[in-house]
Amino acid sequence: MVTDTEYDPSAAKFLSAGDTALVVQYGETVDPEVNRRVRMLAAALAESPPEGIVDLVPTMRSLMIHYDPLVLSRAALVEAVRPLLSATPELAQTTRRWGIPVCYEGECAPDLPAVAEATGVSAEEVVRQHCGVDQEVFMMGFLPGFPYLGLLPEIFDLPRRLEPRVKVPPRSISVAARQTTIYTVDSPGGWHLIGRTPVNFYDPKRAEPILVAAGDRVRFEAISLDAYHAAREAVKAGTFDIRCDDE
């Protein structure tokens, strides 16, 4: 449960994204407190959404409210949102906690040596600090099922790679700016690849193709390369149980 915070909701700004979306911006930085504010507004709006709302997309620092301008005017939407800016509903989604195996070795972790060098600690210490914390899903974005998690310890306050990769393999665990992302399909990417999970965060053939949602928590667990390959076979065979505690 999240209770009220020190954050001043009057600092929220309304911004236009064309005539089909309203952006409610609580800040411009990576700050878990700001992100919780964003998700609280999404939760409050979802409780009794004005007719015409199409989707609520929380990001790290703003909520994008997609709506149908033939049903809902901008003026009416702003009026409906304004009283909710300081609402503090419980964030119900935070009850799911996933245990996700990750191999931080060899071909699964091409950027681990570089990350260790940049952070000034050993590769083992990088892995220990990445596994050692519950990470919260701040937002989903970019591609189907692609989560942004954090907040990671300070050693992970890294810029993105100067040369983004043209193709990042799916299921890569990557870090930058004290966050983790998990690539879900072949795509270009500029984050540092420090591991790979056998678990599909996105699988179009699964009944529920997308694994996690904003508000979930994830704890990564280091496994060996052999265990990774074994788990991968089990995932492909449909016999792998992904661990999820619903508290």
User: With binding defined as CB under 8 A, does residue 56 bind another protein?
Assistant: yes
User: With binding defined as CB under 8 A, does residue 178 bind another protein?
Assistant: no
Site for another protein (CB under 8 A): which residue of 7, 12, 21, 100?
Answer: 21
Subset of residues 79 to 118 that bind another protein, contact rule: CB under 8 A: none
Q: Which stretch binds another protein (CB under 8 A): 16-24, 101-109, 111-119, 126-134?
A: 16-24
Binding mask 188-207 for another protein (x = CB under 8 A): --------------x-x---
Site for another protein (CB under 8 A): which residue of 50, 85, 128, 142?
Answer: 142
Tell me, rounded to whole angstroms, the distance of Cα 96 from its chain centroid: 14
Site for another protein (CB under 8 A): which residue of 140, 158, 168, 173?
Answer: 140
CB of 7 to another protein, least distance (A): 16
Nearer to another protein, 101 or 170 (CB): 170
- Number of residues in contact with another protein under rule CB under 8 A: 47
Residues lying near another protein in the complex (CB under 8 A) are found at: 15-21, 23, 25, 28-30, 54-62, 64, 66, 69-70, 73-74, 139-148, 184-187, 202, 204, 209-210, 213-214
